[in-house]
Every structure is written in C-alpha cells, then in structure tokens.
Amino acid sequence: MDLGIAGKWALVGGASKGLGLGCARALAHERVNVVMVARGQDALDAAAAELKAELNGQAEVIAVAADITTPDGRAAVFAVRRDFDIVVTNAGGPPTGSFRDWDRAAWIKAIDANMLTPIELIKAMLDGMLARGFGRIVNITSSAVKAPIDILGLSNGARSGLTGFIAGLARNPEIAAKGVTVNNLLPGKFDTDRLNATLQGAADKSGKPLDEVRSAHAAQIPARRFGTPAEFGAICAFLCSQQAAYLTGQNILPDGGAYPGTY
C-alpha cells in the first residue's frame, strides 16, 4: 500500500535506536524526509548513515544530536527545520523504582520528559500543520497507560497526564477538521535496549540469568514473543498515512495480546 506521504517531512525523537529508529526507518522507506534526534552523536550518526545507505537517495535523512527534553535541544532541532508534517514524540522512559524513592525532582523530570516535552513539540508545530492542512502527531507512550506497571510509577503517572491532554487536543474541531490527527502509540514489550535494561534489573534482583528472565516474560505474552522495532515502525507509518486521516485521539496498543481487557 502506498501511504501517500512521500516528500513530507517528519521529526522523530529518540531515533538512534529502538522504537524511534523503527519509526524513522518505516517513514523514510515511505520516502518521507526524516530529522532524527537523539543525544548520543555517535550512535545517531551510525543509525542515520545506515538508513541513508538503505534509502539510496529516496529521502533525506538529517541527524541532530540534542536532548529533546530541554528548550536548548528543541531549539537546536528547530534551527535545522521548523515545518514538519509529521512528528513522532519520543525520548527515554523514566527510571524504575518504588514510590518512596521518587522525590519532587524525580517527578518533575519524568513529567518534563514524558508529558511536557511532547506538548511543547506539538505546540511548536501545530500551527504550521494547520496552515498546510495536513499533520500527523504520534506520541510514543506505553502500555503502562492502560495497565500500570508497579516499578514504573513515574511512567504510569507522567504518560497518563499526556494521554489526558491529547484526548482533548485531538478532538478539538479546530484541529480535527483541519487535517491534523493526534494519536498515541502504546508499546507493550518490544525488543530494544530499554526492555533489556528493565529485564536486566529484574534478573539482577532475582539472581536469575537474563535469558531465563527474557523467556519468562515472553511466555506471559499471548504472542509468546516480544515485538520488533520494525513492527512498531510499520504501525507508526500507517498512523501517519493519508489512509489514517479519520483516525484521531486513539490509543493504539501493539502488545502481542498482553493486555487482558476486552476494550
């Protein structure tokens, strides 16, 4: 299926690896020009170079090493380009822990990264999208928004705040009637460095080998495996497509069937 977005410009956060890279790759293969952001220059440059080699000149790939959660980082991105048709908001998730560990500073950091940063990015880009009559905003959040994960309380809280805000924003007729859709993509367990770090923490705590912990977690998923960044990216690209123009304000949950509810 031709997604009808060739030639558009996308900003993808957290794009040097994992889910962000999966989204950048899927969009670029639809001939969308992508600006990829991550903090670590070397990994970002390597990912961008690999993607460029795959594309053979079919789309532009620009790497910007910046911390997207800071005003300076966002300014560095906007210095390169400001008019984006597509934005995939994404950065690292908050650390695991217990509610007694999290002081005000930890909460502010989580809220800043996983709630206010997407809102700031949307605010900066929305008017341009509305003026051009096309926009696709995809926020990478977490399955924790639907089914909270005890050790990820900072994520449960901060991302739920974003989800509530997006629910109202997407349904504003000034946005929904002007060709701009806003959706959240809620990863279940996807095979990335982030998941491995979380599972390594569980392995260390239990004294079991990482492989055993990985297998035990995968066994709890009806699909009996973790998702791949490529699968995640393909869903993201579809949400950004012309065909998805009537899909807005939704929380899409790719999780191999892990969420046990009917709705």
Point out which residues bind ligand NAP (CB under 6 A). Answer: 13-20, 37-40, 43, 67-69, 90-93, 140, 142-143, 187, 189-190, 192-195
Of 92 and 135, CB closest to ligand NAP: 92
Sign of torsion over alpha carbons 229, 91, 192, 148: negative
Nearest approach in angstroms of CB 194 to ligand NAP is: 3
Of 91 and 126, CB closest to ligand NAP: 91
Beta pairing partners, 251: 184
Of 32 and 63, CB closest to ligand NAP: 63
* Tokens at 141, concatenated: 């959040």
Rounded to whole angstroms, the Cα distance separating 136 from 84 reads 9
Residue reference for tokens 């210095």: 79
Report residue 257 CA to chain centroid gap: 20
**131 and 175 Cβ atoms separated by less than 8 Å:** no
Of 5 and 91, CB closest to ligand NAP: 91
Of 4 and 112, CB closest to ligand NAP: 112
**141 and 186 Cβ atoms separated by less than 8 Å:** yes
Of 14 and 157, CB closest to ligand NAP: 14
Nearest approach in angstroms of CB 221 to ligand NAP is: 11
Q: Which helix (H) or strand (E) element contains residue 135? A: strand 135-140
Nearest approach in angstroms of CB 89 to ligand NAP is: 10
Rounded to whole angstroms, the Cα distance separating 229 from 22 reads 5
Rounded to whole angstroms, the Cα distance separating 92 from 244 reads 27
Beta pairing partners, 139: 89, 184
Backbone φ, ψ for residue 100 (5° rounding): -70, -20
Nearest approach in angstroms of CB 22 to ligand NAP is: 8
- Grouping H, G, I as helix, E, B as strand and the rest as coil, residue 27 is helix
Nearest approach in angstroms of CB 175 to ligand NAP is: 24
Nearest approach in angstroms of CB 148 to ligand NAP is: 12
| Per-residue CA distances from 211 to 200, 205, 237 (Å) | 9, 14, 31
Nearest approach in angstroms of CB 59 to ligand NAP is: 19
Of 185 and 244, CB closest to ligand NAP: 185
| Per-residue CA distances from 175 to 13, 40, 98, 238, 251 (Å) | 22, 34, 39, 19, 18
Nearest approach in angstroms of CB 215 to ligand NAP is: 16
Of 93 and 153, CB closest to ligand NAP: 93
